[in-house]
Amino acid sequence: MQPLLVSQNTDMNIDMDPRIKALADMLLKRDLVSYSVHKKFAKTYFAEPHRDYYLTYIAKARKYIKEAVISENYIIVHIKYPGTWSELKWYAIGIDTDTDMLFVNRVRAPPYPGSDLIRTDIINGVSVEYVKEQHIKRLVFGYDTDITEDSYTIGLGALPDRQFRVQGDIVFNVIRYNGADNVFAWSHGEITRYVAYLLADKIIALLTDYGISAELVLNERNMYAIRIRGGTDSSRWSKFARRNRSRVVQILSEYFDTKVETPASFETIEISDGTIRGRLEIVSRAYFNSKYGDTFIVIREVRGDAILNKMVRDMTELLNAQQPVDIVRNYGNHRIELKRVIPVSFSYTPDIKPLYLDPQAIYVIARNSFIVDRESVATLTHKEHGTRTIRFAGKYVLHITTTHHDDDDVVHRNRVALSKIPTYKPRDNGN
């Protein structure tokens, strides 16, 4: 093989793995290196099924490589076919520390490296950035630490969180457990929606006292709106529609402290009863070929700190009272046995209930998230990567995820896998 182009840059302060050096040399030469050379290289250094993935989507398109990002153990290339928009067609090739073989993933465009940039170059028309290894791990794949030992104890030290690639593309996102702070992060949307539900309950009860039938509906932001059928005529801009919006404001002002933000149209108001504060939009909606329309009281924003804080305290106590369980999960070809963990999945019925509407429960479900402590154990098993045992140095939140890929990465893998399967042929039964 000819001298490596990248190895000639002696001032770049980067100690590259020989396989990444050789691969970078071939890719940066683009179509000057034949496909048969790439095929021989892939057969030697790529793990299955990454071998066919590389040959199909990178080696065959090598002449269209426009940019490359290179570190000690990774090379990321941008392939742009002529006449097409393909800004997100980036492929990352790296070394799997479990198998010591090369892998490839389609990834999102890497962000500008900033202080992680070592130097830039242009080789055979390809724009090249040499970056620190952590830039690719952290900002492209979404983790900061590789675990290579068969048995390892995860700790955070003084950090609030860390991301560990524990096996293959499985990543453990470990966050310090702070009780109420974690519960608030998981349930903030549900709690806010419940406070809006309580506010809607008060508004509907008030309208009912005035003989107005109203119903609760969800608006486009998955918050709540109150519908008053026949609340306007065939034009939302008519004097009749404006007067009815003014009448709705008058009803609300009987119970709430009310501030009209748009006095000319009565379409936006703020209300408060000392417990809940809300920003409302009163909308007149006319319908095609109909004599009447509806008025909607749309809850745009809501705030009730005292209610929110009480609910977070109650849910934290509920979560802390949960007993650890053993769980087995499969993530692709990885089997993960979790012992003595608490899944972040529970329901809570608030003590503060609506007076007019039906009671509601709040469901807090953080998928693939668990509370772990010193007695918890995670055992990962994979037929190629073997078995790895993970323990924890303290009480943390464990969120199991994968390295970051572009959405089309799975599409590419499926197409490669399907292409290797023979088409169906009916069996000859001798007739």
Least confident of 102-106, 211-215, 216-220, 286-290: 286-290
Does 424 fall in a domain? no
Q: Are residues 283 and 350 in the same domain?
A: no
Q: Are residues 53 and 116 in the same domain?
A: yes
Which residues have a Cβ under 8 Å from the Cβ of 427 and sit 6 or more positions away?
none
Does 161 fall in a domain? yes
- For 328-361, letters b (16+ CB in 10 Å) and e give eeebeebebebebbbbbebebebeeebeebeebe
Does 181 fall in a domain? no
Does 309 fall in a domain? no
Q: Are residues 256 and 380 in the same domain?
A: no
Does 415 fall in a domain? no
Beta-ladder partners of 227? 215, 296
The H-or-E segment that residue 70 falls in is strand 65-70
The string of pLDDT tens digits covering residues 292-306 is 788 889 999 999 999
Instruction: State the pLDDT at residue 146.
Output: 92
Q: Are residues 252 and 366 in the same domain?
A: no
Q: Are residues 191 and 271 in the same domain?
A: yes
Domain boundary among 246, 275, 303: 303
CA 387 to CA 375: how far, in whole Å?
19
Q: Are residues 350 and 260 in the same domain?
A: no
The better pLDDT of the pair 399, 9 is held by 399
Does 15 fall in a domain? yes
Of all residues in the chain, the percent with pLDDT exceeding 70 is 92
Does 413 fall in a domain? no
Q: Are residues 116 and 168 in the same domain?
A: no
CB 233 within 8 A of CB 292: yes
Q: Are residues 216 and 290 in the same domain?
A: yes
Q: Are residues 126 and 219 in the same domain?
A: no
Does 289 fall in a domain? yes
The string of pLDDT tens digits covering residues 15-64 is 889 999 999 999 999 889 999 999 999 999 998 889 999 999 999 999 99
Which residues have a Cβ under 8 Å from the Cβ of 349 and sit 6 or more positions away?
359, 360, 361, 362
Compute the Cα dihedral for 40, 44, 50, 52 and give only its sign. Answer: positive
Q: Are residues 13 and 134 in the same domain?
A: yes
Q: Are residues 108 and 221 in the same domain?
A: no
Domain total in the chain:
3
Average pLDDT over the chain, rounded to whole? 88
Q: Are residues 395 and 371 in the same domain?
A: yes
Residue 284: closest CA among 337, 230, 323: 230
Instruction: State the pLDDT at residue 6.
Output: 44
What's this model's pTM, rounded to 2 decimal places?
A: 0.81
Domain boundary among 268, 303, 338: 303
pLDDT of 209 higher than 50: yes
Structural domain containing residue 342: 151-176+322-402
